[in-house]
Structure 1
Amino acid sequence: MEPVKCSKIDQKQYSQMLRVVTLLGALFVISACTGVSRPQITQIASEPGPKEERISSLEVALADALIEIEKMKARTPSAGGDGLPAIPPNAETGRCYAKLLVPASYVDRVERRVVKEASERREMIPATLEWVDEKVLVSEASVRLVVVPATYKWLEERTQVLPSRSHQVLESAARYETVIEEVIESPEEWIWQPGRGEIEKIDEETGEIVHQQRVPARYRKIKKQVLVEPAKYRKVVEPAVYETVRKKVVDVAEHTIEERIPAKYKTVQVQRVVEPEREIVHQIAPVYKEYKYREKVSDAELGWRMLPCERDITKELVYSVQRALKQRGYDTGGVDGILGKYTLIAVHGFQKQQGLATGRLSSETLTSLGIKYD
Structure 2
Amino acid sequence: MVALKDFERGVVVLADKKGKINVGIMFIALALFILLSACAPMSAPTGGQVPPEYTAKEGRVSSLEIALADAMIEIEKMKARAVSSGDELPAIPPDAETGRCYARMLLPPAYVDRVEKRVVKEAAERLETVPATFAAFDEQVLVSEEHVRLTLVPATYKWLEEHTEVLPARSEQVLVKAAEYKTVMEEVIASPEELVWQAGRGEIEKIDEESGEIVHQRRIPAKYKKISKQVLVAPAQYRKEVTPAVYETLRKRVVDVPEHTIQEMVPARYKTVSVQREVAPAKEVRHVIAPVYKSFSYREKVADARLDWRMIPCEREVSKDLVYRIQRALRAKAYDTGGVDGVLGKYTLAAIHDYQKSQGLATGRLSIEVIQALGVSLLAER
TM tier relative to shorter chain: 0.3 to 0.5
Larger Rg: 1
**TM-score normalised to structure 2 length:** 0.35
**TM-score normalised to structure 1 length:** 0.36
